[in-house]
């Protein structure tokens, strides 16, 4: 229950997009090999094509140790795609037991699940979140009461799964919240409902919001330069 | 009533602007072909030349499924123009019934219309919108009362048509609001009137605002590099 | 009283600045020809050299129709200077009668003057402006009273002329305010005096502020690459 | 007592940094010649190397007329170094008598000194400053009382000299405040003391803060590309 | 107790990343030589690979005099790596006795330690910090009381060491706070606990937060372009 989460986005430069198709294909293969060969980590890939305008790829990295993440990122840094991309958003967070759940446990609760995505749902939604400082001035029991109402709304959407990361002091937000979602409209509905909860008024910031599409890394890369579309055309 | 809206802006790089005219013409044809050949989607094009300084083109994309949008965007990503442009603003939203209209319906109401622009008016105005959290702390009936006054002001401008998209949890704003407008001065008048409504005080942010001009995509592209002006000069 | 104002700034890229002198001279001539040959519009040029660090040129464009502005901007977009510049700031606004003047008119009042600059004063000052939403919650008469005190301060500076544009709903600010000024220190004095008025407390934002210098467009362009200084040296 | 101050920062591009040493040396000589040959102005140069990460050089320009500043900046714009740099921060301000000093004068007071730096102290500190609008809603006498306490703290640091510029309406801040300082730790102490004054609570913004080092312009330029260090190594 | 701290981050450009391996290796050796040969300063290097997306390297520089920092930075500026990098974040601060500790001293207290990192812990955490102005309006004794509770929370984490720098008036923040930390999850726990203290409500801003990894400078540079990973692969 103390694994580290690293969220990393990639935006390909126009320089790279203008390389010829064969070169791009080789660069993607090199990148896949670097990403997938890391030790002590697990990596999940999501395409941001179609949902953001400022990033193309989201990687969700899990590790027990920060050094494993660093070693893995150095592997990535040795690739040609990395040297022709930028990382417009990157987040670091750690798993911890929720201070508001106490001894309360239920079968599909976060604390009972292994770290990281289960992977059975197509759309991850990820965002950094920071609460107003006035939240922390409330008595613990008051916060627990407010969070209970928040959780209750979430429980009305059992088909949506949450993963909470804690970034206090190690990144610019307090939390990185990730969801696995069956359909984006379903998530619009949940978040719209959550606006009416008391907890909502204590949110300082919860953007940018990333909606990804789970897929193999190579396929996600093939979305960036449209190779996936060309392949379809050629069929 | 649950279609997806994707709004995508494009800004051509100076690298592309400096390509020779024949190359630019071929690039535009390639882009038109990619944009218009998508499956499961409809695309409307608007020129931003003359109204913004940071984006040249606005595309309003409609689809039933997010995967259709992604597949379409991958098609676009395979073009030379895409590889020499940036996407300074991009929004994702979904249609939903308004929570404030209840069973109320009227002939030209939003819920009665098909998704997307009717297309009979020259100027779309599009902007992302977020309300203050204090709005959501109001009782539902209070909000309904305030929204009714807001709608009443809108009804004084029956020549202006609204399209509301909901982005809760799937993009950095809560709404993407789009209007079809006969003249921009008419819209200045409406928005100026709306400032005096109570609902106005609950707005957290409603910029950037995009005023487009409806036209065929090729013509919108010919505005970016001034080919439309050169053609006129040659006549 | 419903003309459109387009304010457009231009910042030359270092790529363009490094072109040889003859090429730059040709590019400037081409740009002057594009700017000055538009139909249905009038354009006034101001140098920002010496007052801003992020833009070199300010154009103040007047037109009856938005399509004329768009057509004109497409003409500009066909030039080499445009293709090697950026437009860091751009604003769109429309003239309207002030809601606070009622039937009140005076000889040199805004509503009595034709649209756009008179042109007898060297320094235009232009900025976008947005009021706090609490302003619009005040009763109309209260606002009229506060604005009357604001106007009274302005009337103590009869040598300074104001031009108000309304951007509600068509750009990211509510107003674009332009002044014609005999000396910048005189304007510092006016704005300093205005800080003490009640209206000042309702300002949400009134930056960036552009101080220009009225001059022929070619001369303003010759300030960007210092050709005006080289010419002086050669005399 | 109504001179104009222009503060201009310069950041050399990596393109320029990668020119060969001889070319850079020629470019620096050309820039020095352009900067120092202006008419009707005085220029003071400060290195920002070692204190900022986003600008390399600070120029403090004094003139009686804005046209002299513009003509001077056009001279600078004709140089190769300008064409390979950016101006990340630039400010315009004018001297005026303080509205809070009344007839009060003392020997080393600002109003008694000529415009611009005395030049006997190594470190200028320069920053733009804007007060909260609530400040201007206070009665004049109340403001005078609060400023008197502010001045009293300043008087405990007679080795630190202040220069106040007024930017109301002619730039994005209200003031540009400059200090001449014998040691940066001494200034940390003064500003820390000022935090406890009542006037401090009326500050809206007083960043970015630039700490410079007074030196001849050529030497400041030789800090940008490290030529000053290479010279030392060669000794 | 009045040493200067300079924190400097470096982000390698894609231009540099695309140099061939031999050239990059030479550039790194040149940079190490420049960094380590400064006079009157000490430099500590930390890798940001794996924790940030916008900077690759953090240098923590200590000196008695600002001129030594400037001379050292000019040395760095003469290198090829500097000319192909940017410095996205840079901070300047000075050590001072805490105004809230009074005569209180304890063995491992900050004031008893020499300046700079002890170096026995792997992870430095560094961030700029600014307090709300309302903090400074509190009576001194009230602030001392609140800080005592803040310190008490810190004392529950004796394995975490703090270093406080003061930037009042010499940089855009009030403080630069640095920690030496045995594990990032331990620091998440401390900062999470601090949220519940009264002092937390007086924080205006404490981002961006940099988590580094202590290592020799050459090794940190070898993480930027992945040379450290290639070396591992070759073993």
Cβ-Cβ contacts under 8 Å between A and E: the total is 123
pLDDT tens for C5-55 read 999 999 999 999 999 999 999 999 999 999 998 899 999 999 999 999 999
- Inter-chain contact D78–C208, Cβ cutoff 8 Å? no
pLDDT tens for E16-73 read 999 999 999 999 999 999 999 889 999 999 999 999 999 999 999 999 999 999 999 9
Using an 8 Å Cβ cutoff, are E208 and E127 in contact? yes
Residue carrying structure tokens 């040396």: D25
- Inter-chain contact C188–D172, Cβ cutoff 8 Å? no
Q: Cβ–Cβ contacts within 10 Å for residue A153, how many?
A: 17
What is the rounded average pLDDT of the residues B45-50? 98
Instruction: Using an 8 Å CB-CB cutoff, list chain D residues near C211.
Output: 66, 92, 170-171
Cβ-Cβ contacts under 8 Å between C and D: the total is 123
pLDDT category at C104 given cuts 50, 70, 90 is low
Any chain A CB within 8 A of the CB of E123?
A: yes
Residue numbers of E between 88 and 117 with CB closer than 8 Å to A: none
Q: Which two tokens stand for residue E21?
A: 């391996």
pLDDT at E104 over 80: no
0.90 exceeded by the pTM?
Answer: yes
Instruction: Using an 8 Å CB-CB cutoff, list chain E residues near D54.
Output: 87, 90
Using an 8 Å Cβ cutoff, are E48 and E56 in contact? yes
Q: How far apart are CA A20 and CA A29, in angstroms?
A: 15
pLDDT score, position D109 = 81
pLDDT at E226 over 70: yes
Percent of chain C with pLDDT over 70: 96
Any chain C CB within 8 A of the CB of D71?
A: yes
Percent of chain A with pLDDT over 70: 96
Using an 8 Å Cβ cutoff, are A6 and A61 in contact? yes
pLDDT category at D98 given cuts 50, 70, 90 is confident
Q: How far apart are CA C155 and CA B68, in angstroms?
A: 60
Q: Verify cis geometry, omega within 30 degrees of 0, for the bond prior to E162.
A: no
Q: Verify cis geometry, omega within 30 degrees of 0, for the bond prior to B208.
A: yes
pLDDT category at A99 given cuts 50, 70, 90 is confident
Closest by CA position to D124, among listed D181, D164, D177 = D181
Using an 8 Å Cβ cutoff, are C74 and C23 in contact? no
Q: How far apart are CA E229 and CA E225, in angstroms?
A: 9
Closest by CA position to A209, among listed E53, E51, B173 = B173
Q: Cβ–Cβ contacts within 10 Å for residue C3, how many?
A: 18
pLDDT tens for B79-135 read 999 999 999 999 999 999 888 876 666 666 888 889 999 999 999 999 999 999 999
Q: Cβ–Cβ contacts within 10 Å for residue D89, how many?
A: 22
For E160-194, the three-class secondary structure string (H helix, E strand, C coil) is CEEEEEECCCCCCCCEEEEEEECCHHHHHHHHHHH
pLDDT score, position D95 = 96
Residue carrying structure tokens 């290479």: D230
Of D66, D70, D85, the CB nearest to C223: D70
pLDDT at D46 over 90: yes
Q: Which two tokens stand for residue A152?
A: 């209750």
Which of A31, A38, A169 to mutate: most E Cβ within 10 Å?
A169
Any chain A CB within 8 A of the CB of B201?
A: no
pLDDT tens for E124-152 read 999 999 999 999 999 999 999 999 999 99
Q: What is the ipTM of this complex?
A: 0.95
pLDDT tens for E67-94 read 999 999 999 999 999 999 999 999 999 9
Residue carrying structure tokens 């810190």: E154
Q: Which residue of A has its CA nearest to B11?
A: A53
Distance from CA of B233 to the nearest CA of A (A): 33
pLDDT score, position D79 = 98
pLDDT score, position D107 = 63
Instruction: Using an 8 Å CB-CB cutoff, list chain C residues near B21.
Output: none
pLDDT tens for A5-55 read 999 999 999 999 999 999 999 999 999 999 998 899 999 999 999 999 999
Q: What CA dihedral angle connects B186, B192, B197 and B200, to 10 degrees?
A: 110
pLDDT score, position C107 = 62
Strand partners, D44: D60
Q: How far apart are CA C116 and CA C163, in angstroms?
A: 7
Chains that touch D (3 or more CB pairs under 8 A): C, E
Question: Where do the DSSP E strands lie in B65-185?
Answer: 85-86, 90-94, 123-131, 161-166, 175-181
What is the rounded average pLDDT of the residues C177-194? 98
pLDDT tens for C128-171 read 999 999 999 999 999 999 999 999 999 999 999 999 999 999 99
pLDDT score, position E230 = 81
For B173, C11, D55, D166, E65, the CA distances from E6, given in Å and listed in that order, are: 38, 34, 16, 32, 11
Q: Cβ–Cβ contacts within 10 Å for residue D160, how many?
A: 22
Give the β-pairing of D213-214 and D41-47: antiparallel
- Inter-chain contact D72–C51, Cβ cutoff 8 Å? no
Render A149-205 in DSSP notation, one character per residue: HHHHHHHT-TT-EEEEEE-TTTSSSSEEEEEEES-HHHHHHHHHHHTTSGGGGGEEE
- Inter-chain contact B78–A229, Cβ cutoff 8 Å? yes
Q: Give the orientation angle of helix C66-77 with respect to helix B227-234, to 10 degrees.
A: 90
pLDDT tens for A111-123 read 888 999 999 999 9
Of D72, D77, D169, the CB nearest to C209: D169
What is the rounded average pLDDT of the residues D140-166? 97
Which of E201, E229, E232, E234 to mutate: most A Cβ within 10 Å?
E229
Closest by CA position to E188, among listed E203, E209, E165, E168 = E209
pLDDT at D106 over 70: no
pLDDT score, position C122 = 98
Phi, psi of E109 (to 5 degrees): -65, 160
pLDDT tens for E114-123 read 999 999 999 9
Residue carrying structure tokens 């319906």: B105
Distance from CA of E183 to the nearest CA of D (A): 29
For B233, C48, C73, the CA distances from C34, given in Å and listed in that order, are: 11, 20, 9
Percent of chain D with pLDDT over 90: 88
Q: What CA dihedral angle connects C229, C235, D3 and D5, to 10 degrees?
A: 20
- Collapsing DSSP to helix, strand or coil, B67 comes out as helix
- Inter-chain contact D78–C230, Cβ cutoff 8 Å? yes
Exposed (0-12), middle (13-18) or buried (19+): which is E153, by Cβ within 10 Å? middle
Q: If residue C152 lies in a helix (H) or strand (E), which one and from where to where?
A: helix C140-155
- Contacts of C172-175 with C-beta under 8 Å, sequence gap 24+, read C172/B207, C172/B208, C172/B209, C172/C128, C173/C91, C173/C128, C173/C129, C173/C130, C173/C205, C174/C129, C174/C130, C174/C131, C175/C93, C175/C128, C175/C129, C175/C130
pLDDT category at C74 given cuts 50, 70, 90 is very high
Any chain D CB within 8 A of the CB of C211?
A: yes
pLDDT score, position D1 = 79
Alpha-carbon E97 to chain mean position: 19
pLDDT tens for D185-235 read 999 999 999 999 999 999 999 999 999 999 999 999 999 999 999 877 666
pLDDT at A204 over 90: yes
Which of D31, D62, D77, D89 to mutate: most C Cβ within 10 Å?
D77
Strand partners, D180: D124, D161
Give the β-pairing of B123-131 and B210-211: antiparallel
pLDDT tens for B53-92 read 999 999 999 999 999 999 999 999 999 999 999 999 999 9
Any chain C CB within 8 A of the CB of B24?
A: no
Any chain C CB within 8 A of the CB of B49?
A: yes
- Collapsing DSSP to helix, strand or coil, C138 comes out as coil
Any chain E CB within 8 A of the CB of D123?
A: yes
């Amino acid at each position: 229950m103390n694994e580290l989460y690293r969220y990393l986005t990639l935006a390909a430069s126009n320089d790279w997009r203008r390389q010829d198709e064969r070169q791009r294909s080789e660069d993607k293969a090199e990148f896949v090999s670097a990403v997938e060969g890391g030790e002590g980590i697990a990596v999940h890939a999501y395409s941001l094509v179609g949902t953001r305008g400022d990033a193309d790829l989201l990687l969700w990295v899990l590790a027990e140790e920060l050094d494993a993440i660093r070693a893995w990122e150095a592997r990535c840094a040795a690739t040609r795609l990395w040297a022709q991309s930028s990382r417009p958003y990157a987040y670091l967070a750690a798993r911890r037991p929720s201070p508001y759940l106490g001894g309360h446990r239920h079968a599909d609760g976060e604390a009972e699940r292994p770290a990281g995505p289960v992977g059975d749902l197509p759309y991850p939604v990820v965002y950094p979140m920071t609460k107003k400082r006035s939240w922390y001035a409330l008595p613990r029991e008051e916060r627990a009461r407010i969070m209970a109402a928040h959780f209750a709304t979430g429980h009305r959407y059992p088909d949506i799964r949450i993963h909470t990361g804690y970034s206090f002091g190690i990144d610019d937000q307090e939390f990185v919240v990730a969801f696995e979602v069956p359909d984006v409209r379903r998530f619009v509905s949940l978040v719209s409902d959550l606006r009416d909860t008391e907890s909502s008024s204590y949110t300082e910031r919860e953007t940018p919001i990333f909606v990804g599409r789970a897929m193999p890394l190579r396929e996600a890369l093939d979305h960036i330069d449209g190779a996936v579309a060309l392949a379809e055309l050629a069929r």
